[in-house]
Chain A
Amino acid sequence: MRASRLVSLVAGALLALTLTISVLLLRCIDTVRSGAPLEEVLYVSSPKVLKRMSLGYDGLLADIYWTRAVQYFGGKHHSGVKRYDLLAPLLEITTQLDPHLLVAYEYGANFLAPAPPLGAGMPERAIALQEFGIRNNPDDWHLYYNEGFVYYTELNDYAKAADAFARGARRPHAHPFLAVMAGRMAEHAGDLQMARMMWSTTYDTTRDKSVKANAAAHLRALQVDEDVTVLEQINNRYHQMTGRFAGSFGELASAGLLRGTPLDPLGHDYKLMPDGRVEVRHPDDLPFIQKGTPPDYTPPPVPKILPTD
């Protein structure tokens, strides 16, 4: 009896010890496998084959592939890699397994279309993905919006963007901005207000956090571009008045050209440079800005997208 108790005690201790070591080893395996070339190969690339292999459980398989797509892009983006070769096939497989998984189409429009490092640089595949989505979900306005969004932001094809928005505006419960965007596209294509309207619509309608954070970063960048343009114009006017550029925003305010010290979208004040330019204090925190960076500024390899919460 005593021997049996001793065996139980040893077995129990061994169980706890080996369980702990197994978990620790699993974490080590994860670190080894995260960079392994294994992740770079999609062994079954045919959605049709996968659908058959799923034995009818294609919904679950679609969820698994969707998770893989998000993890693949997130992991690579985080590690600063600039190629996302598997993102398109992963999203295509996901949507073909479950054509009604709308978030996958939105993800494709936001991260498949843009050029690296923000996306895979495959706008045509993103358009094809949206077209597939539209064929399977003809009444969902988001897909038309996604398509117009890619045409507008990545391909600069404003006519096709306007057409996609117009088609989307005719869907039931379409966002009112679609009709506005379709109407104003020809007239205002390429201007800041149009871009702001696009990113605001994305920001307001998405439920995906990464898409929302990306839209917020673009909106901040648009705000900075506009602020810097306006502030440099004011500083130029000050130069015309006084023969020199202002040394501080206080001087511009004293001259009646400005009300107080302007702040960037993250709450930091702008810098007035001796040559009249205006710069942001932390350009790394404001990806996608076109203006307000030092002349020799090199953006980080991975855009710093701040979380929305």
Chain B
Amino acid sequence: MSSRVFNIAFNTFREAVRDRVLYNLVAFALLMTGAAILVGQISIDIERLVVVNLGLTAVSLFGMVIAIFIGIGLVSKEIEKRTLYTVLSRPVRRWEFIVGKFFGLAGTLIVNSVCMAVGVFAALFYVSRHFQSADGWVLVGLYFIILQFLIVTSLTLLFSSFSSPLLSAVFAFSLFVIGSFSEDLRGFASMTRGISKWLATAAAYLVPNFSALNVISSVAHQNPVSGQLIVYNTAYALFYATMALSGAVLIFERRNLK
């Protein structure tokens, strides 16, 4: 079972590399190099702040775009090319296919993020000429971004298990935007009453909480992130991704592929 999941994951990763997904690293490298040189010349005292903000935002946005646009094609492309039938005619179960695809894309995103992180730290070193202990929080910011990718990847898989690629992209992107405002959504829910309060609260808890996973500005200001938040966020992202994957498996198991 694990070898089948691993093989699908590895092939998904290899396919993403073949699709020149990692080419985005070139654009990222150019962006960071340009920003580091520019910021070093025009910013006064906030070079570090700008580099961290820009770097982590770019990591997040590049990764989100990859997660959504690769994720939505993971199932539909296999159906379109009819390669899915070849895979499923072998002793591969449908849930293994979904889980393997998830790990493959998650692996791609993690490798991509690690490469970008190296770029961020290189730019950081260029502008401030040394590392500080507070730069460790940037790693926490990166870690939270990777947790966001896990959630988005699982959601795109969920949507692509029953919907067209275009609609899946719309759903995933909408949920990313809504999830980024999830704390405000809960704020609105707390201000309402009666049935609308219950509905708003339920919706607020159902959408992924990306705002708690976004500490970019905080770490740019060298604010520490509590250990408790790291533990809770890790657990939350893993459980939420498992939930979305379970939904994807549930739908895909019942889907008529003829």
- What residues of chain A have their CB less than 8 Å away from a CB belonging to chain B? 3-4, 7-8, 11-12, 14-15, 18-19, 21-23, 25-26, 28-30, 32-33, 36-38, 41, 43, 64, 67-68, 70-71
Q: Does B249 contact A (CB under 8 A)?
A: yes
Given contacts A7-B249, A29-B233, A71-B187, contact A15 B93 (CB under 8 A): no
Q: B238: shortest Cβ distance to chain A, in Å? A: 9
* CA gap between A36 and B219 in the complex, in Å: 12
- Residues of B212-257 at the interface with A, using a CB-CB cut-off of 8 Å, are 212, 215, 217-218, 221, 223-224, 226, 228-229, 232-233, 235-236, 239-240, 242-243, 246-247, 249-250, 253-254
* CA gap between A3 and B209 in the complex, in Å: 34
* CA gap between A11 and B205 in the complex, in Å: 20
Q: B187: shortest Cβ distance to chain A, in Å? A: 5
Residue among B188, B209, B247, B253 having the largest count of chain A Cβ atoms under 10 Å: B253
Residue among A22, A41, A64 having the largest count of chain B Cβ atoms under 10 Å: A22
* CA gap between A11 and B105 in the complex, in Å: 21
Q: Does B195 contact A (CB under 8 A)?
A: no
Q: Is the CB of B93 within 8 A of A7?
A: yes
The residue that B243 contacts in the complex, of A19, A33, A64, with Cβ under 8 A, is A19
Q: Is the CB of A32 within 8 A of B236?
A: no
The residue that A7 contacts in the complex, of B187, B236, B243, B253, with Cβ under 8 A, is B253
Q: Is the interface of B mostly helix, strand, loop or mixed?
A: helix
The residue that A29 contacts in the complex, of B236, B242, B249, with Cβ under 8 A, is B236
* CA gap between A4 and B88 in the complex, in Å: 13
Q: Does B181 contact A (CB under 8 A)?
A: yes
Q: Is the CB of A3 within 8 A of B218?
A: no
Q: A295: shortest Cβ distance to chain B, in Å? A: 41
Q: Is the CB of A64 within 8 A of B181?
A: yes
Could you say which residues of chain A place their CB within 8 Å of the CB of B243?
Answer: 14-15, 18-19, 22
Q: Is the CB of A28 within 8 A of B247?
A: no
Q: Give the B interface residue count (CB, 8 A).
A: 37
Q: Is the CB of A22 within 8 A of B236?
A: yes
Could you say which residues of chain B place their CB within 8 Å of the CB of A4?
Answer: 94, 253
Pull 29 A–B residue pairs with CB atoms less than 8 Å apart, ordered by A. A7-B93, A7-B95, A7-B253, A11-B247, A11-B250, A14-B243, A15-B243, A18-B240, A18-B246, A22-B205, A22-B236, A22-B239, A22-B240, A25-B235, A26-B236, A28-B228, A28-B232, A29-B233, A32-B228, A32-B232, A33-B212, A36-B226, A38-B217, A38-B218, A41-B217, A43-B217, A67-B184, A68-B184, A68-B187
Q: B144: shortest Cβ distance to chain A, in Å? A: 12
Q: Is the CB of A18 within 8 A of B242?
A: yes
- Residues of B131-150 at the interface with A, using a CB-CB cut-off of 8 Å, are none
- What residues of chain B have their CB less than 8 Å away from a CB belonging to chain A? 93-95, 181, 184, 186-188, 190-191, 205-206, 209, 212, 215, 217-218, 221, 223-224, 226, 228-229, 232-233, 235-236, 239-240, 242-243, 246-247, 249-250, 253-254
Q: Is the interface of A mostly helix, strand, loop or mixed?
A: helix
Q: Is the CB of A67 within 8 A of B188?
A: yes
* CA gap between A64 and B236 in the complex, in Å: 25
Closest A residue by C-beta to B182: A26
Q: Is the CB of B253 within 8 A of A8?
A: yes
Could you say which residues of chain B place their CB within 8 Å of the CB of A11?
Answer: 95, 246-247, 249-250, 253
Q: B233: shortest Cβ distance to chain A, in Å? A: 7
Q: B66: shortest Cβ distance to chain A, in Å? A: 24
Closest B residue by C-beta to A15: B246
Could you say which residues of chain A place their CB within 8 Å of the CB of B233?
Answer: 29
Could you say which residues of chain B place their CB within 8 Å of the CB of A21?
Answer: 235, 239
Given contacts A18-B239, A18-B240, A23-B205, contact A29 B94 (CB under 8 A): no
Given contacts A7-B95, A38-B218, A68-B187, contact A25 B232 (CB under 8 A): yes
